Amino acid sequence: MQLLFDNWKEIPWKKIVFDDLIIECGSIEQYLKKHDLKYKEYKVFTNTQAKVKTMSKTLELMGELQSDDMQKRHWEELSNETVSHITPEDPNFKFNDLYKLNLIKYTEKVQDIVEIAKNQTKIKKSLDKIKKQWDEKSFEWKELTDKETYSLEKTEDIIDLVDQDLGNLLNMLGQKK
């Protein structure tokens, strides 16, 4: 088991498939669980269980950090929190670079950063959609009888769209963290 974990530490960050590692770690946990009654009084067994449990939790946190939503600013925030220099864009950045930070100590902060990153991505996509919709919107103007004044036509559709987008924007403001 330790040899397996040590091998993982050398995997480049961008090539890690956390789902696979989590499954492997889960298999080890299941195996240990089957033998719990038999060996639980042995210190080496309980230490092994603890290492596997820690690795399992660490893998989950690292898997969350591998989200496409994580931007440079989020990594900088994590670097500040862990008082370290985290550079996932570096091709030499490996599993061990994060593992040695003992992320479990920062579980809540890691989850908060990832949640914020996801919310910011969702908000950006919504804003982009709203902008695109308005960029593509064409307006019809009708010249009034005095020929110097114009009136906007089909205002019901525009008012509905403004109301809808305003509601979406207010909702986004409420989600901002």
**DSSP line for the chain:** -HHHHHHHTTSBGGG--HHHHHHHHHHHHHHHHHTHHHHTTSHHHHHHHHHHHHHHHHHHHHHHHT-TT--HHHHHHHHHHHTS---TTSTT-BHHHHHTT-GGGGHHHHHHHHHHHHHHHHHHHHHHHHHHHHHH----EEE-TTSS-EEES-HHHHHHHHHHHHHHHHHHHHH--
pTM as predicted: 0.78
pLDDT of residue 157: 79
Of 23-27, 119-123, 130-134, 147-151, the range with the lowest mean pLDDT is: 147-151
Mean per-residue pLDDT, 28-42: 89
Measured between alpha carbons, how far is 2 from 48 in angstroms, rounded to an integer? 9
DSSP, collapsed to helix, strand or coil, labels residue 142 as strand
> Whats the size of the chain, residue-wise?
177
CA 31 from centre of chain: 31
Percent of the chain with pLDDT over 90: 63
What pLDDT digit, counting tens, does each position of 63-111 carry? 999 999 999 999 999 999 999 999 999 999 999 999 999 999 999 999 9
Percent of the chain with pLDDT over 70: 99
147, pLDDT greater than 80: no
Q: How many CB atoms lie within 10 A of CB 96?
A: 15
Where residue 155 falls among pLDDT bands split at 50, 70, 90?
A: confident
